[in-house]
């Protein structure tokens, strides 16, 4: 029976605004204190304003749609409807209507994840964590996840890639300071300094995704030239030091002409006597 429930349209089964009561469902009333949230719930942040609005509605009309729970020892775990449960608590209700279903622990976790991911109102990091959990905990491939959720495999892959961002950038994504498009632009940058520069510009200048991508390309293209210039300057300094040392040793002007695969040393002398002096110095050294 549990498997047949899993095969149904989860969008209609768990959507907060659509009916979930079936003909053979028995709606019961449980104390709110008997019920606990599901730790595998991918949603970590509940909008306070939305919860408050729902609580006000519940004060006036009650909980119209039961939540779905499973037995968990002498308590009950929420499968779907945590926002309604939170709002009912805020509204001061002591009891809430529930439908008690029979699901295994694995099914509860999987349903909770898929239900929330299908509703598409998680923040991008919650969504990515949900996909990753389906793959890690339930041994799903990206193709299987995309089939369950109804999204393309590339969409799932791009979402999961967001988890490789540094935590401070993930926090900006969660807070809405940057979008998923901005985050993907940042993912293309390997240099941490450039990545932080682009992030700062996105926030301070309000760059859109295309502008952020253009800035990332510009800074990344400029960085190699800068490094080459720094290397060239270092080589130039070393050559000058060699020239000065040789000039001091030989008592005449020395020029070192250098490239990566060949070069030459020019030693200035004045007449045969000066040449013999320089040769004697070289022979003795």
Check pLDDT > 90 for residue 210.
Answer: yes
Q: Annotated catalytic, 82? A: yes
Convert the pLDDT of each residue in 132-191 to its tens digit: 988 888 888 999 888 888 889 999 999 999 999 999 999 999 999 999 999 999 998 988
Convert the pLDDT of each residue in 18-38 to its tens digit: 334 566 678 889 999 999 988
- Mean pLDDT value across residues 79-85: 87
- pTM listed for this prediction: 0.55
Chain-centroid distance, C-alpha 203 = 17
* Token pair listed for 66: 């039961």
Instruction: Sketch out the chain's domains with CATH numbers.
Output: 2-122 (3.90.1530.10), 240-284 (no CATH)
What sign does the dihedral 112-118-123-125 (CA atoms) show?
positive
Give residue 21's pLDDT. Answer: 54
Give residue 159's pLDDT. Answer: 92
The catalytic position among 22, 23, 82, 243 is 82
Most distant CA pair in the chain, distance: 116
């Amino acid at each position: 029976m549990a498997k047949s429930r899993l095969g149904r349209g989860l969008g209609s089964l768990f959507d907060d605004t659509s009916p979930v009561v079936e003909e053979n469902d028995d709606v019961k009333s449980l104390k709110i204190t008997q019920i606990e949230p599901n730790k595998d719930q991918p949603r970590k942040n509940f909008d306070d304003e939305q919860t408050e609005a729902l609580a006000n509605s519940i004060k006036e009309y009650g909980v119209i749609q039961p939540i779905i729970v499973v037995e968990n020892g002498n308590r009950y775990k929420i499968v779907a409807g945590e926002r309604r449960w939170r709002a009912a608590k805020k509204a001061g209700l002591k009891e809430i209507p529930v439908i008690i279903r029979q699901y295994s622990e694995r099914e509860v976790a999987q349903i909770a994840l898929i239900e929330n991911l299908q509703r598409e109102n998680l923040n991008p990091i919650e969504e990515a964590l949900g996909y990753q959990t389906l793959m890690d905990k339930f041994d799903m491939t990206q193709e299987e996840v995309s089939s369950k959720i109804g999204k393309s495999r590339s969409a799932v892959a791009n979402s999961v890639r967001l988890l490789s961002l540094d935590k401070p950038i993930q926090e900006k994504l969660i807070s809405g300071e940057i979008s998923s498009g901005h985050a993907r632009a940042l993912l293309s940058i390997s240099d941490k300094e450039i990545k932080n520069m682009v992030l700062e510009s996105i926030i301070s200048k309000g760059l859109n995704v295309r502008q952020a991508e253009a800035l990332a390309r510009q800074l990344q293209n400029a960085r190699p030239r800068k490094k080459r210039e720094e290397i060239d300057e270092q080589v130039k300094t070393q050559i000058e030091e060699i020239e000065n040392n040789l000039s001091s040793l030989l008592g005449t002007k020395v020029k070192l002409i250098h490239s990566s695969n060949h070069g030459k040393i020019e030693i200035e002398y004045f007449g045969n006597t000066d040449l013999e002096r320089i040769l004697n110095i070289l022979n003795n050294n």
